[in-house]
Structure 1
Amino acid sequence: MATQHDTLIRYITMLQLIPRAPQFKATTTLRDLLADRGFHVNLRSIQRDLDKMSLHFPLKCDDKERPYRWSFDAGYKSNLPALDTATALTLVLAEEYLKSLLPQIAIDRLSPQFDEARKFLDGLQTNGYASWARQVRAIPNGKALLPAAILPHIWQGVSDALLNRQAIAVQYLSRQQGEVKPFILHPQGLVVRHSVSYLLATVNEYDDIRQFALHRIQDLKESLSTYRSHPDFSVEAYIAEGAFGYPLDQQHVQLVANIDKAIAWLLTETPISQQQQLSEPDANGWVTLTATVPNDQQTQWWIMGFGARIQVLQPSTWREAIIEQAQKMVEQYQSAPSAQRPAPS
């Protein structure tokens, strides 16, 4: 027979399993999830427990169809466990940083925790944390574009399909062809890169992994197609192979370049790769960088962002590509009409 302690733990576990509206979990789903955690109870007991707990918690029951579906009120904020200053500051910094990366719909899902952290810090009037808003910021490295807007039901549908291993039918705006096309996608992974979120999936009957920007998915619904899994697929390995760096091929190259002292200092603290060496400065202050890096355009763009402060020596194909690009820029600026200053008023 279950003890009072077991019943209490089951109640807590059940509350942790129920999502905020508009999401929900059916009593049958709660039964299965509880069984996975060692609590074997029938549907009648679960329904009775939920009815009891709804007297003390803002639980909502959709009883229009069976099995009944349960959720917390969308505005419900839990205070368990209580926040501490370090955790609250971490949440505030996380929000600042993630706002420049994640779509707004993803940030909205975390807003109750972020709101609670801000209120907690605002309430600390007896110490230095009371002025936290003027004292903490998190900023991205480099110029950050605003996150691409994603429709709420698209984010939810992709998340559910990925975690539940379901095929989805989408209407997708092709950037190359400039038209909306229907696809059956079999989700394999999700990657947030800068301000764009990508679904990694196989398409229709093909087996190769492709990237789909979530903000270009204009409509989504569950597909009747059988989900085709790739159990050996690893997002980490996929990224390591250079899939998001605009690879020129699947090889790595040895980068040799002269860099100024400021960049050398930067790379001492945050290396460009695991295989990196920096020489002592020469008579003119230049440091020789030697590193093994992917053969991709992303690394070349990173190099070009430093302008004349980096001089690539090897590989020769990179050096020639950068020289060609620099020459085109010079010609473009020389041929363009000079900007005219506005006449004084």
Structure 2
Amino acid sequence: MATQRDTLFRYLAMLQLIPRSPHYKATTTLQALLAERGFNIELRSIQRDLEKMSSHFPLLCNKDERPYRWSFDPGFKSNLPAMDTATALTLVLAEEYLKGLLPQIAIDKLNPQFDAARKFLDALQENSYASWARQVRAIPNGKALLPAAIDPPVWQGISDALLERRAIDVEYLSRQQREVKPFTLHPQGLVVRHSVSYLLATVNNYDDIRQFALHRIRKLNPSENRYREHPGFSVEGYIAKGAFGYPLDQQQLELVAKIDRGMAWLLAETPVSTQQQLSGPDQEGWVTLTATVPNDQQTQWWIMGFGARIQVLQPSSWRDAIAEQAKQMLAMYEPAPSARNLKD
């Protein structure tokens, strides 16, 4: 009985050590890892065990090289395949990045995967990954606000309603009217934008899609009203129309601007659009940027973030709007208030 139990534990340990394809582990590597876990077994026995288990699990064996190399089928859905260093580091980076994007309740749902990645890296004390906590960081592009807090029952209720196509009754804090109002919502999609999560839904018996910030939902319950489908709706199409970009209109336009060499280097590596051209520097070092961009305020704000490093030439409406904004800012900061005025 004890022998059968030990064999079962050895099989489980071996399955947990085998990664998904294209990663693999050689039988010699498996033998060493099993020995670290207290299973001292010959190489031939390991090979026989793997061949037996391959009749019950989607194990792949590469016999082109010796020792043989084993992996799970890449489509196998299970927690058994072992985590590798690349996957672990990717999860650690994802956790760092998502903490500034998703609400805490969503991060909590992923904590088991993040914990497994950290434990995997922590266990590698004899190699360069031992100090992984000091070597991995994800830095947001620009100032990131803290994610708005969402009540756990609200997040769960929204998730269930979206997946099960159910209507919900909510009490929602209206930003414009600054009061809590009751609505029956028919969820159509979910979008995370910066630090705020939005439910896309139709309201009551209306057909237009509206946005509801999840952190402003004060109460949520399943509705007795029948769920109303919105035929043809897609989140991708909704976003493409500029719903979250504060569009000035639905047209694309050609942006022409002079930019400094540092910004030119940045855009050469990470273009502002798929249709972008950069000239060579002129005598003063300025590079001409030509790009097709959406006519939205998001792009204008992005431009203004570079300050004096970019000068918009076209379109003239953007140039005028940015110049007017600069004048208003200059009027606010000049003349600078004296220290005595600040004290008064």
Provide the TM-score with structure 2 as the length reference: 0.74
1:298 paired to 2:304: no
Distance in 2 (CA, whole Å) between partners of 1:342 and 1:291 is 45
Task: Write out per-residue CA displacement over residues 217-263 of structure 1, whole angstroms, 9 at most, x where no aligned residue.
Answer: 11111111111112311111211221111111112221111111111
Residue number in structure 2 paired with 1:236: 236
**Cα displacement (A) at 1:340:** 6.1
Quick check: 1:101 aligned with 2:101?
yes
Count of residues in correspondence between the two structures: 266
Give the distance between the partners of 1:197 and 1:331, measured in 2 at CA.
36
**Who wins on radius of gyration, i.e. which is larger?**
2
The aligned counterpart of 2:226 is: 226
Q: What is residue 67 of structure 2 aligned with on the other side? A: none
Q: Distance in 2 between matches of 1:158 and 1:338?
A: 52
Structure 2 Cα separation of the partners of residues 340 and 269 of structure 1: 48
Q: Which residue does the alignment assign to 2:285?
A: 285
Return the offset for 1:79: 5.4
CA 1:123–1:266: 2 relative to 1, 3 Å = same
Aligned partners of 1:207, 1:93: CA distance in 2, in Å? Answer: 40
Q: For 1:336 and 1:237, how far apart are their aligned partners in 2?
A: 47
SS of the aligned residue for 2:224 comes to coil
Equivalences for residues 35-114 of structure 1 within 5 A: 80-114=80-114
| Percentage of matched positions with identical amino acids | 79
Show the counterpart of 1:307: 307
Q: 1:215 to 1:340 in 2, by over 3 A?
A: farther
Deviation, structure 1 residue 81: 2.7
| One-letter identity of the residue aligned with 2:81 | P
Give the AA of the match of 2:182: P
Label 1:156 to 1:342 Cα distance change in 2 as closer, same or farther (>3 A): same
**Deviation readout 1:47-76 (Å, 9 max, x if unpaired):** xxxxxxxxxxxxxxxxxxxxxxxxxxxxxx
1:96-135 aligned at under 5 Å gives the runs: 96-135=96-135
Give the letter aligned to residue 162 of structure 2: L
**1:266 is matched with which residue?**
266
CA shift for structure 1 position 107? 0.3
Cα offset, 1:116, TM superposition: 1.4
Alpha-carbon distance in structure 2 between the residues aligned to 1:327 and 1:127: 57
The 1:150–1:338 alpha-carbon spacing in structure 2 relative to 1, beyond 3 Å, is: farther
Paired with 1:340 and 1:252, the residues of 2 have a C-alpha distance of 50
The residue that corresponds to 1:20 in the other structure is: none
Shift of 1:339: 4.9
Counterpart for residue 31 of structure 1: none
Distance 1:342 1:242, change over 3 A: closer
Q: What residue in structure 2 maps to residue 333 of structure 1? A: 333
Q: What letter is aligned with 2:253?
A: V
Q: Deviations over 1:265-317 (max 9, x none)?
A: 11111111111111111111111111111111111100000001111111111
Query: Within 2, Cα distance between the matches of 1:336 and 1:118?
Result: 51
Task: Summarize the Cα distance change of 1:283–1:172 in structure 2 as closer, same or farther, 3 Å threshold.
Answer: same
Q: 1:201 to 1:137 in 2, by over 3 A?
A: same
Equivalent AA in structure 1 for residue 126 of structure 2:
T
Partner of 2:180: 180
Q: Label 1:338 to 1:170 Cα distance change in 2 as closer, same or farther (>3 A).
A: farther
Aligned equivalent of 1:58: none
2:152 aligns with 152
Unaligned runs of 5+ in 2: 1-77
Superimposed CA distance per residue, residues 102-129 of structure 1 (whole angstroms, 9 cap, x where no aligned partner) = 0000000111111111111111111111
Normalised TM-score (structure 1): 0.74
2:258 paired with 1:276: no
Which AA in structure 2 matches 1:210?
A: R
- After superposition, give the CA deviation of every residue in 1:146-196 in whole Å (9 maximum; x if it has no partner): 111000011111111111111111111111111111111111111111111
The one-letter code sitting in structure 1 at the alignment partner of 2:163 is: L
Q: Secondary structure at the match of 2:243?
A: coil
RMSD: 1.8
**Cα separation, partners in 2 of 1:91 and 1:173, compared to 1, 3 Å:** same
Partner of 1:198: 198
